[in-house]
Amino acid sequence: MPGLVQAGITAYRAGDRRRARQLLTAATQRDPRHELAWLWLSAAHDDAAFKRICLEKVLALNPQNPNARRGLQLLDGGAPRPVSVFSTPEAPLPGPAGPAAPVARPPAATMRGRPAPVLTPSCPWCQAEFTRPLADRCPRCGRRLEFDCPECERGVSVNLEACAQCGRIFGKFHAEREPYLARLLEAYRAKGWVDQALLVNDYLLELAPAAARYHLAAAQLYDQIGDTTRSVNAYRRLLDLEPGQAEALTQLARWYLTLHQTPELKDLSQRLRALKPRTARLTLLLGDIDYELDDVKSAERTYRELLRRPELDAATRARLHLRLGEINLERGRPAPALRDYEASLAAGVDTEDTQAARRRLDSLRPPLPRRALASYGETGRAMLGPVLLVWLLAALQVGFQVARLNLAGLLGLVLAVLGSYLLAAAQVTPLTPEWRELLGEAGLAQPVPKALATVIGGGLVAAALVLVLAGM
């Protein structure tokens, strides 16, 4: 990040403002809280509206920044000062370079000539008439009279149909103003030139204020530079034009859910319920909004409805089951909550939702200790003595002939197994998984259940011996 900012400052001092804007914009996209990057980005811009955005960002991060305050004073028409935000900031630059050097004259390599200014008899925006060559902006309305070519980055007058340097076709601005600007907007967005794209999009919104696609582009572009307030406002205007616009509903719902803004969430909930049919993503958002608004019954119905859709991906299913588990847990239903958490893990994906489901399962049903995990083998070995005693006696009673076994003998064999299991579980392996599930974490280690299992198990083994010895 410091490398991008330093490179942008170096490009600005060398006179390559286009390169400076690109580097500093990239720096603010990676770290929207980088104060120095926003300050130098305001210096590199020509557009007053965008300068204001950058300076307001600086003051939002540091209300005491003197350069940003002086810059806003100049934009508001205040008296010029010896030092402004559009000159080199007073603070020294980070890194080994030390204090900021005076602005150097751009080297010859950066002063390649642009096309000669064209005599413009009138402004194509405000129709003001002039008798002298104009700069790149109309002095009366302030709108651009030339745009940077997306190919060679040179200025191209709106009077020209193609770039004089690289030959890129722009079209006829006077005859097809909106298509001309729309093509330019897409070209700037494809190049990642957010500042230029925002400027062109503002012009398009002036020409077609009811065009939803330009409001969508504005929202996306402001989101790229981290200006959430303007992005949200653009999405809201888009919803006024297209109440069912999926991206606007999705982005607004995510922001409002993050900020816990209840009135706005209620409004979005009504909008989403009015949509018939809804996509799976919008249905999921509706459930999340209901959950945030503590309408758990409605949220549960929405999630259950969504789970019946066959097109859901595994990650979404895992998230839905996690939410249902949370709802069941809040409503005091641990058994259904456990099933939902297990279903979330059964989706077979590794996401934050499945990790949360695993943590919930471990808290509700802690993992068994090593001794309990190996308890089946210990239980089997402890059962061998009583079982072999009863079965061997039974074999001796019938002379090792299975055909001579009667009902009492068979019952004795079964009771021997059950009684031996209870004795082994109580005396040797009281933490077997079955007893942990039934009696809680202590299993059969508590005195009363342990004694009860011992008595019942011993009684069953004794009954088995009686049946084998006396009933056969």
Residue at 346 is within a domain:
yes
Report the number of distinct structural domains present in the chain. Answer: 4
Q: Which of the listed residues 348, 364, 380 is the one where a domain comes to its end? A: 364
Residue at 177 is within a domain:
yes
Lowest mean pLDDT among 15-24, 202-211, 249-258: 15-24
User: 294 with 346, same domain?
Assistant: yes
DSSP 158: T
User: 333 with 348, same domain?
Assistant: yes
What gap in Å lies between CA 380 and CA 377, rounded to an integer? 5
User: 59 with 151, same domain?
Assistant: no
DSSP 239-293: HHH-TT-HHHHHHHHHHHHHHT-HHHHHHHHHHHHH-SS--HHHHHHHHHHHHHT
What gap in Å lies between CA 85 and CA 247, rounded to an integer? 37
Q: Report whether 149 contacts 166 (CB < 8 A).
A: yes
Token digits of residue 131 = 């008798």
Q: Report whether 47 contacts 86 (CB < 8 A).
A: no
**For residue range 189-242, what is the model confidence (pLDDT) as tens digits?**
998 888 889 999 999 998 899 999 999 999 999 988 888 889 999 999 998 898
Predicted confidence band at 355 (pLDDT cuts at 50, 70, 90)?
A: very high
- CATH number where 203 lies: 1.25.40
Q: Which of the listed residues 211, 228, 245 is the one where a domain comes to its end? A: 228
Which residue from 255, 239, 245, 249 is spatially nearest to 284, judged by alpha carbons? 249
Residue at 120 is within a domain:
no
Q: Report whether 433 contacts 375 (CB < 8 A).
A: yes
The kind and range of the H/E element at 445 are none
What gap in Å lies between CA 53 and CA 47, rounded to an integer? 10
For residue 456, pLDDT beyond 90: yes
Residues with Cβ < 8 Å from 151, sequence gap 6 or more? 163, 166, 168
Give the rounded percent of residues in the chain with a pLDDT score beyond 70: 86
DSSP 51-88: HHHHHHHHHHH-TT-HHHHHHHHHHTTPPP-SS-TTS-
Predicted confidence band at 267 (pLDDT cuts at 50, 70, 90)?
A: confident
Compute the average pLDDT of residues 451-461.
91
User: 206 with 282, same domain?
Assistant: no
Lowest mean pLDDT among 39-48, 87-96, 146-155: 87-96
For residue 21, pLDDT beyond 80: yes
Q: Report whether 373 contacts 451 (CB < 8 A).
A: no
The residue written with tokens 């989403």 in the block is 272
Residue at 245 is within a domain:
no
Dihedral sign from CA coordinates of 35, 38, 44, 50: negative
- CATH number where 60 lies: 1.25.40.10
Q: Report whether 149 contacts 156 (CB < 8 A).
A: yes
Token digits of residue 372 = 């309990």
What gap in Å lies between CA 440 and CA 443, rounded to an integer? 6
The residue written with tokens 């009077």 in the block is 159
User: 272 with 351, same domain?
Assistant: yes
> Distance of alpha carbon 425 from its chain centroid, rounded?
49
Centre a 10 Å sphere on the Cβ of residue 103 and count the other Cβ atoms it contains. Answer: 12
What pLDDT is recorded for position 179?
A: 92
Centre a 10 Å sphere on the Cβ of residue 377 and count the other Cβ atoms it contains. Answer: 10
User: 280 with 187, same domain?
Assistant: no
Compute the average pLDDT of residues 258-263.
85
Residue at 268 is within a domain:
yes
What gap in Å lies between CA 471 and CA 15, rounded to an integer? 109
Amino acid at 371: R
User: 386 with 353, same domain?
Assistant: no
Q: Report whether 92 contacts 98 (CB < 8 A).
A: yes
Q: Does the reported pTM lie above 0.85?
A: no
User: 187 with 221, same domain?
Assistant: yes
User: 360 with 432, same domain?
Assistant: no
Helix %, strand %, coil % for the chain, to 5? 65, 5, 35
User: 351 with 376, same domain?
Assistant: no
Cα–Cα distances (Å) from 341 to 94, 364, 375, 434, in that order, read 50, 10, 26, 20
* 44-47-49-55 Cα dihedral, nearest 10 degrees: 10
Amino acid at 146: E
* 379-385-386-387 Cα dihedral, nearest 10 degrees: 80
Q: Report whether 7 contacts 23 (CB < 8 A).
A: yes
For residue 93, pLDDT beyond 50: no
Residue at 337 is within a domain:
yes
Residue at 236 is within a domain:
no
Centre a 10 Å sphere on the Cβ of residue 133 and count the other Cβ atoms it contains. Answer: 10
Domain of residue 178: give its range: 146-228
φ, ψ of residue 185 to 5 degrees: the values are -60, -45
User: 223 with 153, same domain?
Assistant: yes
Token digits of residue 450 = 């342990």
Buried b (16+ CB within 10 A) or exposed e, 249-284: bbbbbebbbeeeeeebbeebbebbeeeeebeeebbb
Q: Which of the listed residues 343, 364, 385 is the one where a domain comes to its end? A: 364
Residue at 411 is within a domain:
yes
Lowest mean pLDDT among 14-23, 81-90, 262-271, 434-443: 81-90
**For residue range 49-66, what is the model confidence (pLDDT) as tens digits?**
788 888 888 888 888 888
Q: How far apart are the first and last CA of the chain?
A: 89
User: 337 with 427, same domain?
Assistant: no
